[in-house]
Amino acid sequence: MSIDIRLDELAEVLEPSAVQKDLFGHGHNACPGCGSTPAVRMVMRVIGERAIYLVPASCASLYVAPSDTITPAAPVIHTVFAGAFAQAEGLSYALRRRGRDELVVVWAGDGACYDIGLGGLSGIAARGADVLVFCNDNEGYQNTGGHQSSATPPSATTPSGRPTAEDAPAIQQRKDLVEIIAAHRVPYIATACPAFPEDLEAKVRKAKNIKGFRMILVLTTCVTWGVEARHSMKVARLAVDTGYFPLYEVENGIRYRITYEPPMRPVEEFAALQKRFRNNNLDSLKREIQMKWEDLRFKASRFR
């Protein structure tokens, strides 16, 4: 028996994301178990074909449109670490001058956003550039061996944690990138995780239709955390369900809204699946989680 179903008929009964074109095709070079590839696939599917992507040096340089693969079906410009944000702003202005309406998107790692390119990111946020930035946050310079960045959590082991001890845990508190960008009073900032696809896609749709600067910080798991490939999405979900990574959004730098209330499972469940937390004291991490949620709930309560 053959079944002939028209795509426009399916569209009447399926969620919009189920019939959107998948622009991130097969054949990428990412590691097995990479948490970034499901995220970029969702993002590109929601944004659609009318977009140009800029990718500063990162893991994404290997899996987003390198010359020897077929992914993705969208224009991609590869840039140096610190240059992507200024280039994105210039491209946005140039497109508008020519009367074109493509969305300018930056897909950057935490190294580019938190550290090497932070000045450029701050600059385009302050100037209100019409650019959508995704920070693909895998909490370290993972493409070069899992080295520590300003996004690396306390208690996590990295090869560059301390200059005097190999594989020592990070000792400093992480930068809060959302708060840094919120201080610029930009129209929209959000956090997201591919283990919660409905939340991620809703935020991408919202950001897509806003003019001016907007940013979505996406937590993505990495095998350099010491995570088995089969546990990638499980770890991502536990990151949210333990409160380690809150899902929320900020409008105009002041209006906070929590988009998912986690059950606050013990953070040990999240840490147990990762070698980077092995044999390390989690007290500093627990304090960070508690302080973050106290601050976030206070800010969100002002606009209920």
According to the model, what pLDDT value does residue 10 have? 39
Is 2 inside any structural domain? no
Query: CA nearest 271: which of 246, 234, 230?
Result: 234
Give dist(CA 161, CA 227) in Å, integer. 19
Cα separation of 189 and 257, whole Å?
Answer: 11
Which DSSP string corresponds to 271-289?
HTT-GGGTT---HHHHHHH
pLDDT for res 12: 46
CATH number of 92's domain: 3.40.50.970
CA distance 20 to 181: 31
**C-alpha count within 13 angstroms, C-beta hemisphere, residue 118:** 14
Asked whether residue 180 is assigned to any structural domain, the reply reads yes
* Structural domain count, the chain: 1
Counting every residue written for the chain, the total comes to 304
Amino acid at position 98, single letter: R
pLDDT of residue 59: 74
104 within a domain of the structure (yes/no):
yes
The pLDDT tens digits for 235-273 are 999 999 999 999 999 999 999 999 999 999 999 999 999
Closest residue by Cα to residue 107 from 42, 162, 156, 168: 42
Q: What are phi and psi of 127, to 5 degrees?
A: -85, -5
**Within a domain: residue 12?**
no
Segments forming the whole domain that contains residue 286: 33-301
pLDDT in tens, the chain (304 residues): 344 444 344 344 445 544 467 766 666 677 888 888 889 989 999 998 899 999 997 776 666 655 555 556 678 888 888 899 999 999 999 999 999 999 999 999 988 999 999 999 999 999 999 999 999 998 877 777 767 888 888 878 776 655 445 555 555 678 999 999 999 999 999 999 999 999 999 999 999 999 999 999 999 998 888 889 899 999 999 999 999 999 999 999 999 999 999 999 999 999 999 988 886 789 989 999 999 999 999 999 998 7
Write out the two tokens for 199. 């939340």
Tell me, what amino acid is at 178? V
pLDDT value for 61: 63
Q: Do the beta carbons of residue 108 and residue 56 sit within 8 Å? A: yes
Task: Examine residue 26 and state whether it is found in any structural domain, yes or no.
Answer: no
Distance CA(184)–CA(122), nearest Å, equals 8
Residue 73, pLDDT score: 66
Tokens 């189920």 locate to 18
The confidence score (pLDDT) of residue 101 equals: 93
Q: Which two tokens stand for residue 224?
A: 């350099």
76, 53 Cβ separation under 8 angstroms: yes
Residue 230, amino acid: R
